[in-house]
Amino acid sequence: MKQPLSDLGSFIRQQRERSAMSLRKLAESAGISNPYLSQIERGLRKPSAEILKSIARALSIRAESLYERAGLLEGVERPSVVEAVEADQLLQPGQKQALMQIYTSFVNENNMEEE
């Protein structure tokens, strides 16, 4: 199911704001013009995969997350949080265990709130 370009643009804007990055700084880091990035964020332009890759790199996020929102990737299975943590070779076993304990507590808390 393709999502509207405005969803992609909103997501990019949210990630930019979370990174405390100005529109100008992100455009410069991604190697695109300010007006073009502004049009992407407002859902007026559909960027190419290469532009999305540049934006993702500048935001330090996975390009696939932008590709999926742009409708370039469909039906791609994402690993669960547990699988992702277990597969991460940069984490030590104790760190993985700590992350899983925190994750489990959040999930349990959310389940209790829903009941």
Return all residues near 34 (Cβ < 8 A) that are at least 6 apart: 23, 24, 27
- What is the C-alpha separation between 15 and 48, in angstroms, rounded? 18
Question: Could you tell me the pLDDT band of residue 113, with boundaries at 50, 70 and 90?
Answer: confident
- What is the C-alpha separation between 12 and 16, in angstroms, rounded? 6
Topology given in CATH for the domain delimited by 5-69: 434 Repressor (Amino-terminal Domain) (1.10.260)
Residue with tokens 């100005």: 22
Residue with tokens 């996975």: 62
pLDDT in tens, 3-35: 456 689 999 999 999 999 999 999 999 999 999
- Supply 28's token pair: 């410069």
Contact predicate 8/66, CB 8 Å: yes
Residue 109: per-residue pLDDT: 87
Contact predicate 86/95, CB 8 Å: no
pLDDT in tens, 49-93: 999 999 999 999 989 889 888 888 776 666 788 888 888 889 999
- What is the C-alpha separation between 73 and 69, in angstroms, rounded? 8
User: Is the pLDDT assigned to residue 1 strictly greater than 50?
Assistant: no
Report which of 13, 57, 10 is spatially closest to residue 31, judged by C-alpha positions.
57
